[in-house]
Chains A and B, each alone.
Chain A
């Protein structure tokens, strides 16, 4: 299974809405989908699990959706601290797969 994230780079301004896509080469269950944020020099941070459930402490401007082969992370009213790299992840058959990442830049 391959996860393809698009776009590779997304250039937006603070206050705008970001829509990040993750497409799987095979249909997967919703419960296996997650999204992470990573800033330079830091470990990844879990944002969304089970496709649409926000992790503890994650602001409400982050939302996840999707099922089957297409999953989306939306970030509304972008804050300066939201500019980072975002990875989608899928779990299947005791294995985990990451997408190649989307860089969200100002």
Chain B
């Protein structure tokens, strides 16, 4: 069974940093591209970033480019999202998902709140 478990969210001040993790199991992690999607409170879905199976290709939404960095450790079956220079509008639930044609399996999400 495919499982994705996010962690690392929490309350952070504007300008601060967080690192989100997504632990994957139930599939061969290093053969799938992965992605992060966020959802602000009461709002719709926003694609944040994606990474190729090997990790050598990374892609970002304009809203996060230069502040958020996606990475993966295929030896540990883990996806990361490094978040710097956090802003209030980064407040959201952050989901990781596996990419197969579209986003076929999702984690439950981890909440990030940016507030002073």
Q: A94-B50, A95-B61, A96-B50 are in contact. Are A46 and B45 (CB under 8 A)?
A: no
Chain B, range 18-65, C-beta contacts under 8 Å to A: 35, 37, 44-47, 50, 57, 59, 61
Chain B, range 68-110, C-beta contacts under 8 Å to A: 95, 97, 100-109
Q: Is the interface of B mostly helix, strand, loop or mixed?
A: strand
Interface centre among A34, A45, A89, A96 (most CB of B within 10 A): A96
Instruction: State A31–B95 Cα separation when bound (angstroms).
Output: 23
Contact of A44 among B59, B100, B103 (CB under 8 A): B103
A71: chain B residues within 8 A (beta carbon): none
B103: chain A residues within 8 A (beta carbon): 34, 36, 44, 46, 89
- Quick check: A98 and B101 within 8 Å, CB to CB? no
Any chain B CB within 8 A of the CB of A50?
yes
Instruction: State A95–B45 Cα separation when bound (angstroms).
Output: 14
- Quick check: B104 and A36 within 8 Å, CB to CB? no
Contact of A98 among B47, B100, B104 (CB under 8 A): B47
- Quick check: A49 and B102 within 8 Å, CB to CB? yes
Instruction: State A38–B103 Cα separation when bound (angstroms).
Output: 13
Contact of B102 among A46, A97, A101 (CB under 8 A): A46
Any chain B CB within 8 A of the CB of A4?
no
- Quick check: A101 and B107 within 8 Å, CB to CB? no
**Closest residue of chain A to B100, judged by CB?**
A49
Interface size class on chain A is 20 to 34
Q: A44-B45, A96-B35, A96-B47 are in contact. Are A91 and B102 (CB under 8 A)?
A: yes
Contact of B45 among A49, A87, A91 (CB under 8 A): A87
Any chain B CB within 8 A of the CB of A78?
no
Interface centre among B46, B101, B105, B107 (most CB of A within 10 A): B101
Instruction: State A87–B59 Cα separation when bound (angstroms).
Output: 21
14 contacts between A and B (CB under 8 A): A36-B45, A36-B102, A43-B97, A43-B107, A43-B109, A44-B103, A46-B105, A94-B50, A94-B57, A95-B59, A96-B35, A98-B46, A99-B44, A100-B44
